[in-house]
C-alpha cells in the first residue's frame, strides 16, 4: 500500500498536479532521500518508455493498415513498375513466401440466423448431427435488405442462401475442402469471404464415406492468394492435443478452442476424432488447427445429446483422398497441398489473424 501511495505522489509530481507547498515539500524530500530521488528518475524513464511503447504500437498499427490496403491494391508484393514477367521470375528465383494478399475487411454485421439443424444418421447413432446451418426465410430477407445496403461492390450480387457452413483453402488457387454433407443439398454453391463478397464455386469431388468434398472457386473475380501459412498433418494426432477451430456458426467468423478427447469418432469410426470443443450448426467443414499451425482435422458433426462431443474427420483422410485423386484424375494434379507452416512461433492471436484469411463461408441454395 505504501508503494502505491508513493507512486501516486511521484506521478502527481511529474504531471505538475501538486500545489506549490506540496511541490516544495516534495522537492526537499527528494534532495534528502536518495531512494525517493531514484524512484522519481526511474519512474520518469519508465513512463517515457511506456509512452514510446504506446505511440510506436499505434504507429505500427497504422503501418499495417496502410500495408494491407496497398497489398490489396497490388502495390506491395506485385510491383507495378517491374512488369509481370519479372515478378514471376523473382518468385521463382527466391521461392519465398509472398505476403498474404487479402486485406482486412470491414466487418458487416448481419443478424444471427435462426438455427435449424439438419439431422442425418450416421453409423446408427441417432444423436449424430451434422453442423450445417439452415437459414430460415425471414432472416434471409432481413439479411438481403441489410446486405444490399452494405455491400455495393460484391463480386456477384448476394445470392439467396439456404445453408451455411465452413470451408478452407487447401491450395492457393482457390481449392477448398469442406464436408460432403455440407454441399449434398446445395444446388448452387457460393464462397463468401470476410468482406461479404460472393464467389461462385463448384464441387469437384465429394465422398460421403469420409465426408469430405473438394470445391473450386470458378469465379474469375477470385484472385489466388500468394501462399497458405498452414500445413495438413499426415500423422494421427495424440489424445489430449490442444487445438483451435475457426468457423461460421454465425455470419461472423467464430474462434473456438479445445482438446482431442478420443482417437475415434462416433461408434468407433477410426477415420474421425472426438473433440471437446464448442461447435454449432455452421461449423461443419471448419479446420481444426494445432499449436504448430497444422490442420489436424475438419469438423463434421456433434452429438446432439452429449455436451461438447464433437466429431472431426482426421486430416490424414484429406491427404489420402488428394493422393488418390491426383493419381486417377488429371484435374487434381495441379493441386499443391500446403506443407509448410508459418504459424509455429506465433502467439494464438496472430495465428488466428493469419489463419482467418483462408477460412471461408460455404453457402448455397
Partner 1 sequence: MVICALIRESKKGNPCLQKKLFLLDLGYYFRHLRINNRSVDILEQEQILLKGLALSDKNSIELIYRDNFSSIQSFVLNNNGSVDDARDIFQEAMIVLYENAGKDSFKLNCQIKTYIYSVCRRLWLKRLQHLGKFNTKLENIEDIIPVESEVEDHEKRNEDFNLMEDAMSKIGEPCKSLLNAYYLQKKNMQELALEFGYTNADNAKTQKYKCLLRLKKIFFAQYKNS
Q: Which is nearer to partner 1, 50 or 116 (CB)?
A: 50
C-beta of 57 vs 153, nearer to partner 1: 57
DSSP string, 187-206: SSEEEE-TTS-EEEEEEEEE
Rounded to a whole number, what is the distance in angstroms from the first to the last CA of the chain?
A: 64
Place of cell 492457393: 172
Residue number, 54 or 268, with CB nearest to partner 1: 54
Beta partners for residue 180, in sequence order: none
In the complex, which residues of this chain contact partner 1 (CB under 8 A)?
3-4, 7-8, 14-17, 42-44, 46-63, 65-67, 69-70, 75-77, 79-82, 90, 94, 96-99, 347
Residue 223 beta carbon to partner 1: minimum distance, rounded to whole angstroms: 16
**Of 48 and 306, CB closest to partner 1:** 48
Closest separation in Å from C-beta 4 to partner 1: 4
C-alpha atoms less than 13 angstroms from C-alpha of 273 in its C-beta half-sphere: 30
To 5 degrees, how large is the angle CA 357–CA 344–CA 337? 60
CA triplet 360, 87, 97: central angle to 5 degrees? Answer: 45
Judged by beta carbon, residue 305 or residue 348, the one nearer partner 1 is 348
Minimum gap (Å) between residue 85 Cβ and partner 1: 14
Rounded to a whole number of angstroms, the minimum distance from the CB of residue 53 to partner 1 is 4
Q: Cβ 3 to partner 1, closest distance in Å?
A: 6
Q: What's the closest the beta carbon of residue 41 comes to partner 1, in angstroms?
A: 13
Residue 298, SS3 per DSSP: strand
CB of 347 to partner 1, least distance (A): 8
Query: Is the Cα dihedral 336, 340, 342, 344 positive or negative?
Result: positive
Three-state DSSP class for residue 37: helix
Q: Which is nearer to partner 1, 81 or 307 (CB)?
A: 81
Q: Which is nearer to partner 1, 99 or 117 (CB)?
A: 99
Give whichever of 99 and 151 is closer to partner 1, judged by the CB atom: 99
DSSP 255-289: EEEEEEEESS-GGG-TTEEEEES---TT-TT-EEE
CB of 334 to partner 1, least distance (A): 24
Q: How many CB atoms lie within 10 A of CB 13?
A: 18
Find, among 229, 221, 212, the residue nearest to 193 by Cα.
221
Question: How do beta strands 231-232 and 294-303 pair?
Answer: parallel
Residues in the chain: 365
What lies within 8 Å, CB to CB, of 282 at 6+ separation is: 131, 132, 133, 164, 165, 166, 247, 248, 249, 250
Distant-in-sequence, close-in-space partners of 141: CB < 8 Å, separation ≥ 6: none
**Measured from the CB of residue 97, what is the shortest distance to partner 1 in angstroms?**
7
Bridge-based pairing of strands 272-276 and 254-262 is: antiparallel
CB of 225 to partner 1, least distance (A): 14
User: For residues 96 and 153, which CB has a smaller minimum distance to partner 1 in the complex?
Assistant: 96
User: Is the Cβ of residue 56 or residue 306 nearer to partner 1 in the bound state?
Assistant: 56
Amino acid at each position: 500500500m505504501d508503494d502505491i501511495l508513493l507512486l501516486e505522489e511521484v506521478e502527481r509530481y511529474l504531471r505538475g498536479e501538486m500545489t506549490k507547498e506540496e511541490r516544495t515539500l516534495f522537492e526537499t524530500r527528494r534532495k534528502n532521500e536518495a531512494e525517493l530521488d531514484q524512484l522519481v528518475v526511474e519512474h520518469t524513464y519508465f513512463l517515457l518508455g511506456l509512452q514510446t511503447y504506446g505511440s510506436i504500437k499505434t504507429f505500427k498499427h497504422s503501418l499495417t493498415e496502410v500495408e494491407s490496403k496497398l497489398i490489396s491494391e497490388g502495390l506491395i508484393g506485385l510491383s507495378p513498375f517491374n512488369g509481370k514477367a519479372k515478378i514471376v521470375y523473382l518468385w521463382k528465383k527466391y521461392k519465398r513466401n509472398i505476403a498474404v494478399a487479402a486485406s482486412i475487411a470491414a466487418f458487416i454485421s448481419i443478424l444471427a440466423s435462426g438455427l435449424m439443424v439438419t439431422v442425418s444418421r450416421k453409423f446408427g447413432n441417432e444423436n449424430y448431427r451434422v453442423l450445417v446451418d439452415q437459414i430460415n426465410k425471414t432472416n434471409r430477407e432481413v439479411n438481403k435488405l441489410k446486405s444490399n445496403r452494405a455491400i455495393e461492390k460484391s463480386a456477384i450480387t448476394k445470392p439467396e442462401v439456404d445453408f451455411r457452413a465452413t470451408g478452407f483453402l487447401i491450395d492457393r488457387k482457390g481449392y477448398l475442402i469442406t464436408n460432403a454433407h455440407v454441399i449434398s443439398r446445395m444446388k448452387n454453391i457460393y464462397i463468401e469471404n470476410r468482406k461479404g463478397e460472393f464467389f461462385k464455386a463448384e464441387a469437384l469431388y465429394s465422398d460421403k464415406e469420409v465426408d469430405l468434398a473438394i470445391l473450386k472457386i470458378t469465379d474469375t473475380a477470385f484472385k489466388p492468394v500468394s501462399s497458405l501459412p498452414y500445413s495438413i498433418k499426415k500423422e494421427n494426432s495424440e489424445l489430449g492435443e490442444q487445438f483451435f477451430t475457426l468457423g461460421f456458426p454465425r455470419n461472423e467468423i467464430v474462434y473456438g478452442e479445445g482438446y482431442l478427447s478420443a482417437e475415434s469418432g462416433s461408434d468407433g469410426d477410426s477415420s474421425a476424432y472426438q473433440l471437446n470443443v464448442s461447435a454449432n450448426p455452421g461449423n461443419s467443414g471448419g479446420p481444426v488447427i494445432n499449436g504448430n499451425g497444422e490442420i489436424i482435422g475438419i469438423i463434421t458433426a456433434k452429438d446432439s445429446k452429449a455436451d461438447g462431443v464433437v466429431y472431426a474427420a482426421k486430416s490424414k483422410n484429406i491427404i489420402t483422398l488428394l493422393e488418390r485423386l491426383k493419381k486417377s484424375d488429371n484435374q487434381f494434379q495441379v493441386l499443391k497441398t500446403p506443407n509448410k507452416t508459418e504459424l509455429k512461433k506465433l502467439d494464438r492471436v496472430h495465428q488466428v489473424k493469419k489463419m482467418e484469411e483462408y477460412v471461408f463461408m460455404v453457402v448455397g441454395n
